Amino acid sequence: MSQYLFQQLINGLALGSLYALVAIGFSMIYGIVRLINFAHGDLVMIGAFATLGMLFYGTPWPVTLLVVLLVGALAGATIQTVVFRPMLGAPQVTGFIASLAVSITIQNSALMLLSGQPRNFLFPEAMRQRVSLGGVSASLTDLVIIGLTLTLIAILFVIVYRTRLGRAMRATAENLMAARLMGIGVNRTILAAFAIGSALAAVAGLFWGGKFGQIDPLLGSVPGLKAFIACVIGGVGSIGGAMLGGYILGLAEVLFVGLLPQAYAGYRDTFVFSLLILILLIKPSGLFVRHVEERA
Amino acid sequence: MPDAPILQVSGLNVFRGATHVLKDVSFEVARGELVALIGANGAGKSTTLLALSGLLPARSGTARMTTDEGTIELTRASTETIVRAGLIHCPEGRQIFQSLSVADNLALGAYARTDKDWIAQTTEEVYRLFPILREREKIPAGALSGGEQMMLAMGRALLGAPKLLLLDEPSLGLAPKVIDTIFDVIAELKARGVTILLIEQNAAMALEIADRAHVMEHGRITLSGTGASLMENDRVRQAYLGVSA
């Protein structure tokens, strides 16, 4: 494989990892309470600034990662408790509009507290070097992002498919009333889904800063929107679908830029959205959802 | 208080939206008894069960469950607490978790139980009662036939260790042979001393198996008696058993 193609591939997988981390949480939240949560992307920003704060105090990386997970989980749990819990059972559009309000509130609070000035954000020297792998080389940052993302997703799958909490979450997502009749504390289960999904988005913020080197209070908008697209590609409500949707989107973006003539690079979002429209025309329920179930 | 009725409902009023669905409903269920609620669609039978499991709020009145562990006010407790106390509700339309495996569905039935040995033993027992479920253990429950789904719903309810079992239309939409299997299991549960509150559109089968029954009309209990006496009642025979006068 040529160095150029390999580099594009790794770059696409790293970008896809970021999208997948955000998309999974988006999908989990939609799956369990049918909420299109447009504030989800702002957890990426919160995670990025939490990382910046930790870096300022020279916290070791493993600790930073854990703290960012925790900050994301707490932020997600708080948003759910304060804003979305009272709306359980309200029409879908109520939650949707509330999520826009949450997003605007978070972004503007961040602008007031942190100023709109972009901040430089650098992984340590050791992380920014390139590693060579038998004739081709890649940036260590990208490899770490891909590796940690896959590890986190593996842990998530164990939680969702192998634990009592995961079973309760899947049951609640499918049938809220029946879940209640099993004696499941559905409020706690929904809270857990928000916390887990938000923690993953916050980690994406850590990676985002590391990959692009600069963060600002509005940086959550793009990953939030891309996560939504990734979910639609993969099938909203499915965790595996959101993950694959994220990787497809990341790879597609990078390959469009990498393989098309330079003059078209500025149109990469045009190609991405065309891909989305094409997928929706061919398979409206998403690529990885076998059948669409509507909750009564 | 071994002699206190396991369920005492008194003056229960329930609204769904602006509609006054249950009007001063009062009845009791003694321990080990099988009580049937019969009546037309929309009479308030399912609403009664939903209110008892804490899924619908009561405007006024009380519903009290008394077991060896104590008394619980069903109109004030959360569904989670009610299920833990041993009131298990097998809802209308079965409401199994379609995308989850048969084994996962059964495990969820035991969600509120903590004794692992008891769960393993009871799961075995459910598989003995409904051998088809063991064969389909790993299959998504949505792929089961209607009858198999009902068996799964019953099995799932048994794994909740019911002290009081609420069954909402267990025969709905099932083939006669499957209905017989389900009613055999209901009879066996009754013989084992499980207290059951049964809603049935198939009034003849319900009255045959019930110790006592209540007829519900427009949100009120209008007639009560033993299963046998209601079978002889002219009004019941005309309205619910399809016998002309």
- Is A296 contained in some domain? no
pLDDT digit string (tens) for B36-93?
999 988 899 999 999 999 999 999 999 999 999 999 999 999 999 999 999 999 999 9
Name the pTM for this structure: 0.91
pLDDT of residue B243 exceeding 60: yes
In the numeric block, the tokens 């209640």 are attached to: A180
Distance CA B198, CA B169 (A): 8
Residues of chain B found within 8 Å of residue A168, distances taken between Cβ atoms: 108, 111
Distance from CA of A180 to the nearest CA of B (A): 6
- Residue ranges of alpha helices (H) inside chain B are 45-52, 79-84, 102-109, 116-129, 131-135, 146-158, 176-191, 203-209, 227-232, 234-239
Distances (CA, A) of A114 to A38, A117, A203, A210, B15: 21, 8, 20, 19, 50
Average pLDDT over residues B162-173: 95
ipTM over 0.90: yes
Separation of CA A179 from chain center: 27
Look up the domain containing A256 and give its range: 3-113+136-282
The residue type found at B107 is: A
Distance CA B74, CA B12 (A): 11
Q: In total, how many domains does chain A have?
A: 1
Residues of chain B found within 8 Å of residue A171, distances taken between Cβ atoms: 97, 100, 104, 108
Residue whose C-alpha is closest to residue B212's, from B192, B195, B237: B195
Distance CA B87, CA A180 (A): 12
- Is A295 contained in some domain? no
- Average pLDDT per consecutive 10 residues, chain A (296 residues; last block may be shorter): 85 96 96 93 97 90 95 98 92 94 96 92 79 84 95 97 96 96 97 98 95 93 92 88 94 85 80 85 80 42
> Residue B66 forms beta bridges with which residues?
B71
Say what the pLDDT of residue A5 is.
86
The residue type found at B139 is: I
In the numeric block, the tokens 């978070």 are attached to: A106
Separation of CA A9 from chain center: 20
Which tokens belong to B98? 């379609």
Query: Who's near A219: CB < 8 A, 6+ residues apart?
Result: A44, A45, A48, A205, A208
Say what the pLDDT of residue A290 is.
58
Please check whether residue A24 is in contact with residue A17, taking contact to mean a CB–CB distance below 8 angstroms.
no
In the numeric block, the tokens 């690079």 are attached to: A265
Residue whose C-alpha is closest to residue A76's, from A99, A53, A49: A99
Distance CA B109, CA B92 (A): 16
- Is A205 contained in some domain? yes
DSSP state of B29: E
- Is A124 contained in some domain? no
Distance from CA of B132 to the nearest CA of A (A): 22
pLDDT of residue B139 exceeding 80: yes
Q: Is B163 on the interface with A (CB under 8 A)?
A: no
Based on DSSP, count helices (H) and strands (E) in chain B, helices before strands: 10, 10
- Residue ranges of alpha helices (H) inside chain A are 3-33, 42-56, 61-79, 92-114, 125-128, 140-162, 164-174, 176-181, 186-212, 221-234, 239-259, 268-282
Which tokens belong to A200? 């993953």
Say what the pLDDT of residue B2 is.
53
Please check whether residue A227 is in contact with residue A41, taking contact to mean a CB–CB distance below 8 angstroms.
yes
pLDDT of residue B16 exceeding 80: yes
Distance from CA of A66 to the nearest CA of B (A): 30
Please check whether residue B22 is in contact with residue B45, taking contact to mean a CB–CB distance below 8 angstroms.
no
∠ CA A37-A40-A43, nearest 5°, is: 160
A181/B95 Cβ within 8 A:
yes
In the numeric block, the tokens 């854990």 are attached to: A66
Average pLDDT over residues B178-193: 92
- In order of their start, the domains of chain B are 1-86+162-245 (3.40.50.300), 95-161 (no CATH)
Residues of chain B found within 8 Å of residue A178, distances taken between Cβ atoms: 91, 95-97
- Is A121 contained in some domain? no
Please check whether residue B102 is in contact with residue B133, taking contact to mean a CB–CB distance below 8 angstroms.
yes
Of B98, B100, B111, the CB nearest to A184: B111
Please check whether residue A200 is in contact with residue A145, taking contact to mean a CB–CB distance below 8 angstroms.
no
Distance CA A236, CA A41 (A): 16
**Of A176, A182, A238, which to mutate for an interface test with B (greatest number of B Cβ within 10 Å)?**
A182
First to last CA, chain A: 51
Of A170, A180, A184, the CB nearest to B100: A170
| Tally of CA atoms within 13 A in the half-sphere of A171 that contains its CB | 31
Distance from CA of B2 to the nearest CA of A (A): 26
Distance CA A141, CA A147 (A): 10
Q: Is B160 on the interface with A (CB under 8 A)?
A: yes
Q: Is B92 on the interface with A (CB under 8 A)?
A: no
Return the residue of B nearest to A169 by Cα.
B108
Distance from CA of B142 to the nearest CA of A (A): 11
- Is A55 contained in some domain? yes
- Is A18 contained in some domain? yes
Average pLDDT, chain B: 94
Please check whether residue B19 is in contact with residue B188, taking contact to mean a CB–CB distance below 8 angstroms.
no
- Is A119 contained in some domain? no
Residues of chain A found within 8 Å of residue B100, distances taken between Cβ atoms: 167, 170-171, 174
Q: What percent of chain B has pLDDT over 90?
A: 87
